[in-house]
Every structure is written in structure tokens, then in C-alpha cells.
Amino acid sequence: MTSSLNGFRAEPRRIAVLSVHTSPLEQPGTGDAGGMNVYISQTAQEMARRGVEVEVFTRATSSDQPPQAELSPGVTVRHVQAGPFEPLSRDELPAQLCAFTSGVLRAEAFHEPGYYDLIHSHYWLSGQVGWLARDRWGVPLVHTAHTLAKVKNSLLAEGDKPEPRTRVMGEEQVVGEADCLVANTQVEARQLVDLYGAAPDAVHAVPPGVDLDRFTPGSKPEARRALDLPSDAVVLAFAGRIQPLKAPDVLLHAAAELLRRHPELARRLVVLIVGGPSGTGLAQPQALREMAATLGISEQVRFLPPQPGPKLRTVFRAADVVAVPSYNESFGLVALEAQACGTPVVAAEVGGLPVAVPHGVSGLLVPSHRATDWADALAAVALRPDWRAELVANAVPHARRFSWRRTTDSLLDIYAQASTAFRQALERRAEVAV
């Protein structure tokens, strides 16, 4: 893990993590908080357990937030004032990047030079700040995109808003400036190379993990009692931000199709929608409830707000199937968390979901977003107990192949490589100058 060059220690002592638009302290499932929050929080805490200090810079959204807060021992969250003390949409945030960058540079200026050994930026907005800080501090920049505008725009949900050209240009700039790029899957790694011109040797595929201590199998009857669900219910669950990209409407249409085919399920079918409006979904926060009423399935659909980890685990344990119908997912943490609880997943065959959900092993992949195809897949799992039992048996072993410890091992190795290469490049430039 550690390499040296003229006495230089490649393993970082302290890293600056940049997350402009969302904080690891926020509850995933609403606003802009989602899988990226979980990723940053889990990897930061795992690094801290290895003795690496982590400071996460995020934009302050309330005057009540302290300048800094401890996420866990060794992990500090710094709230940078940039713009008004209120949540801003991602379209509004580029105008605040100068102020945010100033706040990040000002925080570092209070320390001796070399205080941070490396920068890891998350999402393109943070990458814009990251490459400026990298040049000022003289340390390597590692960047994780999490989602890519060119990919999202090629897979838009009907009526969804495409990502603006400014984001595409910003991502291209960050890809060109970063010393290393971390992708969640080999598919995303190829997209960075093919769509953004990234140097292949600068891209590293590192799958995210799952909290295997929190998301574990448990008693389905107990979970259903906790949620006041009938013991004989057929339970389909969705967990995530309520927006067109995540496509919870696909699950509602599929549920309506299931009832059309099997009217006897009307008494037993329960569709759990867990999450809050986000992104373009904020424009019509009641759209899903209205859709359920229009489809005639209001009695079968239950809406729950975003749930913290232990309660989300209860949802997954209670479900017969967890649906992940997104139009694009760089990986799909929900799918992995559900499987860790022993619940099969039916997911869209997009992005990183084929890695998270092996088809026919612990769930099914659906190659379209048509209600009929989703009804077929959901019925195949939820209404066939023998086959579902096989998928259940495979779900936990598959999920256990992924852990945040393994993800962090890979990240620290990449940090060491990036630090060594960065220092070598500096020394070569110094030799040329002499």
C-alpha cells in the first residue's frame, strides 16, 4: 500500500474530500442526497479507521450548521458558506463555485503547506473546485463522477429534463485535469474513455460496497409486523429519490398490470414507495400519488418518507421483491443493500446494475421500462415461491462480495499510486527546469 520516492510517503495522512452539492450528514432518499452520500460517509469512516484523517468540504445550507462537525472520529465535515443559507438546485450551484473554492482555499491557508496530501472530488461540481485546489496545493486530484451527463442524456425518462451543456463542458474539463478517475464499474470506465476522452491508464474501476453490519437478513414476519403489513401480503418495494430518473412510476404501472392479470391479488398486494421528491420530481411532488389514483391502485400503494438505515433494513426484509427501475444508475447501492438483507431484486438492465444484480442468480434484469415486461419479471419472482427461495439463497452471498472495506482498500491503493506519479512528475519538471 505504501511506496516511497526519495523519502516521500505515498500513503496519505490527510485527504480533502469535496462534495459541493450534498453532505454526508444528510439523510439519503430526498433532495440531492442519495448513494453518493453513503459512498462518501462509508469510505471516509473506513479510512479514518486506518488512521487516515478525512475532511469533507460541503456547502452550508443553513445558518444553524456549525463551521465544522464530526461525522465520526477522524472524519470532519466542513460547512463552507457559498451563496444563501438554503438548498439550491444543481442548476443554481455553478454560480457559487467561486465562493465555495475560496472557502476551501481559505481553510487550507490556516495550516502549514502540505496539510492535505490528496484531494478526492465527487461529482462534476466538486471536480471544478478540485482541480483549482490541486494546482494551488500541489497535490494530486482523484475524481469520482458518480453520474455522467452524456450517459444520462442518452437514457432520459420521458419528459425528463436533459443535463445542460455547461455540465457536459464541466465534466470534460474535470476529466482532462484529474490525475486519476475512479469509476464504479468497467462500463462507466469505458464511458469515461469513449465519451470523454479519458486516458485509459488514468481510469480505475472500483465497485462501491454495502454496510454488511447494518444490512443483514432477518425475520420477514417481524419486519412486516413493524410496518403493519399483512403476513400474507405480496410486497413490492422501491427506495430512492422520487424523480423521473429513478422511475418509481414504472413500478406503479407494473403493479397495475399485475392486478389486471391477477385481480385476486387486490387484497394482498402492497407497493411500498420509500423516498422524497428530488430533482425534476420537485416540480410535481404529488405526481406519484395522483398516478396511483389514476391507475386505480391507491389502496395498494403506501408512501413512506426516507428511512434511516435500520428502518430501511426493515423495509427490505419485509419485501418479497425490491424494484430498481432507474433509467440510469452508475451502480445501484439500493440493489446491493436489499440483497444483503436476503431480498431478491428486479432491476433495469442499465449502467452498473448488471454488476449489482446478477441476472437469474439473485434477481432479474429487465431490458426495457415497459409495464408488461416489468409485470412479467415481478410476477416471476414474487408469485413463484420456489424460485424466489433460490434467489433469496443467492442474494446474501452475492452482496457479501462487496464491502466498504474492500472499496477503501482499492481507493487507498489508487491514492498511493496517484501520489507517487504526481511526485515523480514534479521531480521531472524540476530536473528539466534546472
Q: Which residues are annotated as a binding site for UDP-N-acetyl-alpha-D-glucosamine?
A: 27-28, 35, 241, 246, 307, 329, 337
At residue 226, the 3 state secondary structure works out as helix
Q: Identify the DSSP state of 92.
A: T
Q: What are the Cα distances from residue 143, in Å, to 36, 244, 359?
A: 13, 26, 30
Place of cell 412510476: 249
Residue 139 contacts by C-beta under 8 Å, 6 or more apart in sequence?
116, 117, 118, 119, 419, 422
Burial category of 388 from C-beta neighbours within 10 Å (exposed 0-12, middle 13-18, buried 19 and up):
middle
- Residue 68: beta bridge partners? 78
Rounded Cα distance between 383 and 402, Å, is 29
Rounded Cα distance between 318 and 223, Å, is 5
* Residues 100 and 59 sit within 8 Å (Cβ to Cβ): yes
Q: Could you tell me which residues are annotated as the binding site for Mg(2+)?
A: 316-317, 319, 343
Q: Could you tell me which residues are annotated as the binding site for 1D-myo-inositol 3-phosphate?
A: 21, 32-37, 90, 123, 147, 167
The cell for 191 is 464511458
At residue 221, the 3 state secondary structure works out as helix
Best CA proximity match to 108, nearest among 85, 132, 143: 132
At residue 20, the 3 state secondary structure works out as coil
Residue 175 contacts by C-beta under 8 Å, 6 or more apart in sequence?
143, 181, 192, 196, 197, 198
Q: Could you tell me which residues are annotated as the binding site?
A: 21, 27-28, 32-37, 90, 123, 147, 167, 241, 246, 307, 316-317, 319, 329, 337, 343
For β-strands 4-5 and 8-9, DSSP reports them as: antiparallel
* Residues 69 and 46 sit within 8 Å (Cβ to Cβ): no
Residue 112 contacts by C-beta under 8 Å, 6 or more apart in sequence?
none
In a 13 Å sphere around the CA of 211, the CA atoms on its Cβ side amount to 18
